[in-house]
Amino acid sequence: MKLLEHCAGFSDDELARELEGFGYPSIRHQLHHVIGAEQYWVGVLRGLMLVAEDPADMASIEALRALRERVAGATVEYLKGAGDAELNTKREVVTYGDRKVELVPAHVILRTQTHIFQHQGQVAAMARLLGRPIPPGLDFPLS
């Protein structure tokens, strides 16, 4: 995630600074949320309730990078093991609070990826507010 690389240059204070107007008020919380959401939803598809609550996972950009690698690895592992029928057939899953819903796994995976861009925009806005805008092309890399 190129955004993590950009944020690696921020001080701990900048990463933790709470800014008004954002659901997750700091860059650190934004990054942790987007990674944790993917972990949660892929876990739901696998019949697991995985909630990223360990404060050590967001203690630094290095910790977030390690969490991202673990979560992305689990997503790839799920996708490699899932055939077309698994991915494209609506099925019942259990979400937080033992709530049962019917979802198409491919839609869930797609949503985790589009969710990244929603929060990338929020982190970009936060970085601008801190006087450290993201470099050109980071939000729309074509090369």
Domain ranges, ordered by start, for the chain: 2-6+20-129
Report yes or no on whether pTM surpasses 0.75.
Answer: yes
36 touches 54 (CB < 8 A): no
The rounded distance, in Å, linking the Cα atoms of 65 and 130 is 21
The rounded distance, in Å, linking the Cα atoms of 4 and 85 is 34
H helix runs in 46-104, sequence order? 61-81, 84-88
The CATH H-level superfamily of 2-6+20-129 is dinb family like domain (1.20.120.450)
Chain segment 33-80, per-residue pLDDT in tens: 999 999 999 999 999 999 877 888 899 999 999 999 999 999 999 999
104 touches 88 (CB < 8 A): yes
7 touches 31 (CB < 8 A): yes
Record the tokens describing residue 117, joined without a space.
Answer: 């861009």
For residue 85, the model assigns a pLDDT of 98
Please give the residue that has the higher pLDDT: either 105 or 3.
105
For residue 142, the model assigns a pLDDT of 53
The rounded distance, in Å, linking the Cα atoms of 66 and 49 is 20
The lowest-confidence range among 82-86, 114-118, 139-143 is 139-143
